């Protein structure tokens, strides 16, 4: 059974600007954000049978709802994030406490290396695909590979609008992923092509709707609304696609995937 960690956006809003999506003059409507989050939560729990654990929200930490950035959980080891921006640093103790209280082993990469968790590190099969430059650092990937004994493919991000790898890369199953090529350096585009036999490129317009920030649960894919090309590609490839509205989270640079962290994955399909 798939199990995810989420956090209700009770204190969500655009109160600082740490990526190009964020503009304090384009404030998020919190009531709408909560409705959009609840629709996602219900889709996961009621329609898809996912178990969702909830981290309590905290006043003054508007981005805490983006639990994908808590860290990276591999088996029972939680590698906690070290955020690039001071604005998000204060989230760390809430995330680590949640894992420590549930008997996970908690660690972090040595200082001062930045690493922003599942936002910048996604599994495709048994391999980890990790982004660097805007948030996480290349050195974090070497340390992760050593710590976890895993193959880590490092991908250089080139466009500040796609500052986390989960904004431009979406693993669908072993050997298959969707991606927005232009968000990666030419060398990293080659790395992806060599490592993943089936890559579905996403159009620029849909990439800018954060089409790649999709939540994949087995054969079901939860996607931002208004990405018809990717919907068609995925449906033709045999996925069940669910479209959700995340307009308020896009204002912070987030979509469905950012709002969840994988605790357990169901790999039985």
Positions that interact with ligand ARG (CB under 6 A): 18-19, 22, 63, 66, 68-69, 88, 119, 164, 166-167, 252-254, 258
Minimum gap (Å) between residue 141 Cβ and ligand ARG: 16
Instruction: Please tell me the distance from the alpha carbon of residue 156 to that of residue 219, in angstroms, as a whole number.
Output: 28
Integer Cα distance of 101 and 208 in angstroms: 38
**Phi and psi angles of residue 107, each rounded to the nearest 5 degrees, phi first:** -140, 175
Strands 215-217 and 198-201: unpaired
CB of 72 to ligand ARG, least distance (A): 11
Which residue's Cβ lies closest to ligand ARG? 119
34 or 237: CB nearest ligand ARG? 34
Which of 152, 150, 139, 77 has the alpha carbon at shortest distance from 112? 139
Q: Which is nearer to ligand ARG, 230 or 256 (CB)?
A: 256
Choose between 14 and 234: whose C-beta lies nearer to ligand ARG. Answer: 14
Closest CA to 117 of 98, 101, 95, 100: 95
Quote the least distance from Cβ 238 to ligand ARG, whole Å.
Answer: 26
| b/e 206-244 (16+ beta carbons within 10 angstroms → b) | bbbbbbbbbbbbbebbbbbeebeebbebbeebebebbeb
Minimum distance from CB of 216 to ligand ARG (Å)?
A: 14
DSSP state of 111: T
Residues 6+ away with beta carbon under 8 Å from 228: 206
Instruction: Report the catalytic residues.
Output: 164, 258
Cβ contacts of 80 within 8 Å, gap of 6 or more: 70, 71, 92, 95, 96, 99, 106, 107, 108, 117
Residues 5 and 260: beta-carbon distance below 8 Å? yes
Nearer to ligand ARG, 85 or 240 (CB): 85
Select 43 or 259, whichever has its Cβ closest to ligand ARG.
259
* Residue 85: CB minimum distance to ligand ARG, A: 7
Closest CA to 253 of 185, 159, 171, 156: 159
């Amino acid at each position: 059974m798939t199990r995810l960690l989420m956090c209700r956006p009770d204190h969500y809003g655009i109160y600082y600007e740490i990526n190009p999506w964020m503009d304090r003059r384009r404030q998020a409507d919190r009531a709408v954000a909560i409705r959009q989050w609840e629709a996602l939560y219900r889709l996961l729990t009621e329609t898809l049978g996912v178990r969702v654990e909830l981290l309590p929200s905290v006043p003054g930490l508007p981005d805490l709802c983006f639990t994908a950035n808590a860290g990276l959980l591999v088996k029972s080891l939680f590698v906690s994030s070290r955020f690039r921006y001071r604005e998000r640093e204060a989230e760390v103790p809430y995330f680590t406490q949640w894992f420590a209280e549930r008997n996970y082993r908690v660690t972090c990469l040595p200082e001062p290396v930045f690493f922003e968790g599942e936002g910048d590190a996604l599994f495709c099969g048994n391999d980890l695909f990790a982004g660097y430059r805007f948030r996480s650092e290349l050195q974090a990937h070497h340390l992760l590979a050593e710590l976890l004994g895993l193959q880590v493919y490092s991908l250089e991000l080139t466009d500040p609008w796609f500052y986390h790898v989960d904004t431009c890369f979406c693993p669908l199953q072993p050997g298959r992923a969707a991606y927005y090529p232009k968000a990666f350096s030419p060398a990293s585009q080659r790395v992806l092509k060599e490592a993943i036999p089936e890559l579905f490129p996403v159009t620029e317009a849909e990439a800018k709707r954060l089409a790649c920030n999709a939540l994949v649960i087995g054969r079901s894919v939860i996607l931002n609304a208004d990405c018809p090309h990717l919907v068609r590609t995925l449906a033709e490839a045999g996925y069940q696609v669910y479209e959700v509205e995340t307009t308020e989270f896009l204002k912070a640079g987030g979509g469905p995937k950012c709002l969840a962290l994988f605790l357990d994955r169901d790999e039985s399909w």
